[in-house]
Structure 1
């Protein structure tokens, strides 16, 4: 009897998990090998706002340059009829949400909320999850959670907090989304039903309201959790995998970057797996959203720096570690490692210090009149032997005419010491996040082909 009860309990747990996954997945018929390719739009920041934080349907990623924000964005249309939105592409969070008017959702109101981008009451396909539904258990909720079991339309409230204390709250809902996609043959539109997202009527904090958020109406979470955009669509494509290329934002006009959900178009349109260097994705049960990687060694101009590997490691409390985050602009490194990197850079820079530079940068040099400035080369040796050795422009950025600054900042280890490889450091690479094999691949080849 005990064995039978245990088996029944396990079966019910499995069915509940399956139900949660299905409820969180948009309705999209796709076979394994299919993929979705979205254009990414990039918007570089002014220097002072750089801090945190088979059958194919394709869609670009856009640069944020015209809006003064250091993010990459995805354009989509939400609702029926479709309403246009621009969302930050963020591998450092799970929730997909848009600034929303709560009018007619969980109660009446007389006017549109300031800053609202999506009007739920104007969409015939908008449906908030009920607060006692299985889907509502997938999101963090206010405490005490307000829920009326007897009310048919008692909406699921969510309260999603980011690592810097920023917050989005509203109703966890489902909606039809139309994605502007591209393919080698023609531009197409992919219409997906049942996307789980947050209809956010409150947002606070620098990550979701400041200069770095300028021009966007929400966040497209691409993290490892079940409610992220990549997880929801990846399940429908039969592959828990996505990839992107973040092209150099300093070029004018900036080239198109892409986000690909699924297995990708193959060797004709992107780098084959044989060209990618892979490093394992590490798990942190206390922060399951993030894509953690392991750093073994750091070199500057080929010299190995005497940095203890524990500087980059997760501790038993889930603190520390290193993540790859498209939603953070600069790269942030644990302070003990950062100080040794900074000292090595200063010894080798060989250029005069800049007379004036924006606050917040520890190393700025004057390159006026120098056609090809000689700047130190940084390389990170990852677990598994993969080496990230980005071009100098990925970490010495131009902040003013003739002035370049080291775009790496320290993180205090006393406050968790989470190191972050930001989107400037990632530029010019194809990055493949493979959840099925729990690995991250990257390559300097493939971005041009993917565009």
Structure 2
């Protein structure tokens, strides 16, 4: 493992302001990646999961660490992950169409979500890839929450349930919390909601997701506990009517750029800043999520955030090009720009697994990679991946570097395991990118794994590195 960490460290040093990378090729350890597909039983986690040496810091878990469902086989888990991913991307594109047309409401989405269906256990399939464990209420009851950089609301399932999906912890009971307070319809907090309603003077919220998941209930002010830190009067959705599959999670911790997200509500307490490390596959350790300016590292490569008034909740970055084997491809920067109508652009998203690129850019990217991997035996495509290799019997393979180029000259060169991923446990590896059905580019969590990522929303930058996770 020390060799792997050293290799990743040197790869991340290629985040530079130069126009070419000194590393043109790297090695993928095939045997290690196949071994990492085997699930290990995680130790039972205590309720209080904070880093004792850091304020505002939480451990971050991949769904496979807390999933007790039946999908122990890597191929089955891989296929389920890609199915979730397709739904996620579809929902992002649907949201954009909804915003542009202004004819589709959350209520209409809820009616499409088929509320009459049976409750499905969230531990079996489900939305969400990464989770934290936080305390809700006074006294705190600890719950697993999905984190989502593309969502703005914080919500949790609440008793008494009109309809709730199964979760791994007891459903939060607001009647037992001394700090729970409903929000009135006339409150400024209620006005912040996109689709607020009113029932008997209490503010109502509702959110629908593209995979059919849905939550509806009352808006409340409640105390959130992060480790030993109490955040009082946090606006949360108390969902009594919920449909979804959230892998046993109690709800969702929105980390989007809007005012109602957890980051937005923390505001001046944390300076609009947070950082995360998505743990790499097969590692025994957890990742991390930390709020506050103290989480902003020295030596990171800072890339500008691009404002998009049409979609203010998302973190758009200034992607300008792609590189393979140390050379930047001849792809127009216009393919990655945000248009005057808010279309296009490149979004950093923790909820999307596989990076999506406009079709013209993806085809050029894939073809350049194939041109430098003619020595590797090809395999049939798998699911959304049209470029796969049969690496059965290989110990390591030599592959060209793959890079993102950003406005301002920064280059992020990815570790090999972040772009060649095992589709099964017998040696089929796929190029982990796909064509976008629209002009929107999405930088997914597979490409983010193992890289320290910092979001400085107040100053408008995202940082990569300098450390690895």
TM-score scaled to structure 2, two decimals?
A: 0.71
Q: Which sections of structure 1, spanning at least 5 residues, go unmatched? A: 1-33, 54-63, 104-108, 149-153, 182-188
Matched with 2:308 is 284
CA contact (8 A) 1:380 1:387 kept: yes
Residue 91 (structure 1) aligned with residue 149 (structure 2): yes
Instruction: Note the 1:254-403 alignment, pairs <5 A.
Output: 255-264=285-294, 271-272=297-298, 275-349=299-373, 350-354=375-379, 358-401=382-425, 402-403=427-428
Matched with 1:432 is 454
Task: Work out the CA distance in 2 between the residues paired with 1:376 and 1:68.
Answer: 35
Write the deviation string for residues 392-429 of structure 1: whole angstroms up to 9, x where unpaired: 1112111212111122122112xxx2211111111121
CA contact (8 A) 1:35 1:263 kept: no
Task: Work out the CA distance in 1 between the residues paired with 2:237 and 2:128.
Answer: 23
Matched with 1:186 is none
RMSD: 2.6
Q: How far apart are 1:166 and its partner, in Å?
A: 5.0
Matched with 1:40 is 60
Q: How far apart are 1:287 and its partner, in Å?
A: 0.3
Residue 226 (structure 1) aligned with residue 265 (structure 2): no
Matched with 1:26 is none
Structure 2 residue corresponding to 1:407, chosen from 402, 427, 432: 432
Task: Work out the CA distance in 1 between the residues paired with 2:290 and 2:123.
Answer: 22
Q: How far apart are 1:126 and its partner, in Å?
A: 1.6
SS of the residue 1:156 aligns to: strand
Task: Work out the CA distance in 2 between the residues paired with 1:220 and 1:371.
Answer: 40
Residue 242 (structure 1) aligned with residue 274 (structure 2): yes
Residue 49 (structure 1) aligned with residue 80 (structure 2): yes
Task: Work out the CA distance in 2 between the residues paired with 1:438 and 1:70.
Answer: 26
SS of the residue 2:150 aligns to: coil
Q: Number of matched residues?
A: 363
Q: How far apart are 1:164 and its partner, in Å?
A: 6.4
CA contact (8 A) 2:274 2:295 kept: no
Task: Work out the CA distance in 1 between the residues paired with 2:394 and 2:123.
Answer: 26
Task: Work out the CA distance in 2 between the residues paired with 1:418 and 1:40.
Answer: 28
SS of the residue 1:375 aligns to: strand
Q: Which sections of structure 2, spanning at least 5 residues, go unmatched? A: 1-53, 65-73, 89-121
CA contact (8 A) 1:330 1:409 kept: yes
CA contact (8 A) 1:301 1:378 kept: yes
Instruction: Note the 1:155-166 alignment, pairs <5 A.
Output: 155-162=202-209
Structure 1 residue corresponding to 2:440, chosen from 410, 418, 421: 418
Task: Classify 1:215/1:373 alpha carbon distance in 2 versus 1 (closer, same or farther; 3 Å).
Answer: farther
Task: Work out the CA distance in 1 between the residues paired with 2:293 and 2:328.
Answer: 36
TM-score scaled to structure 1, two decimals?
A: 0.74
Residue 199 (structure 1) aligned with residue 238 (structure 2): yes
Greater RCO, CA 8 A, separation 6+:
2
Task: Work out the CA distance in 2 between the residues paired with 1:406 and 1:391.
Answer: 13
Q: How far apart are 1:441 and its partner, in Å?
A: 1.0
Task: Work out the CA distance in 1 between the residues paired with 2:327 and 2:215.
Answer: 44
Matched with 1:19 is none
CA contact (8 A) 2:349 2:442 kept: yes
Q: How far apart are 1:83 and its partner, in Å?
A: 2.1
Instruction: Note the 1:100-179 alignment, pairs <5 A.
Output: 100-102=158-160, 113-115=164-166, 117-141=171-195, 145-148=197-200, 154-162=201-209, 167-179=214-226
CA contact (8 A) 2:60 2:287 kept: yes
Task: Classify 1:387/1:202 alpha carbon distance in 2 versus 1 (closer, same or farther; 3 Å).
Answer: farther
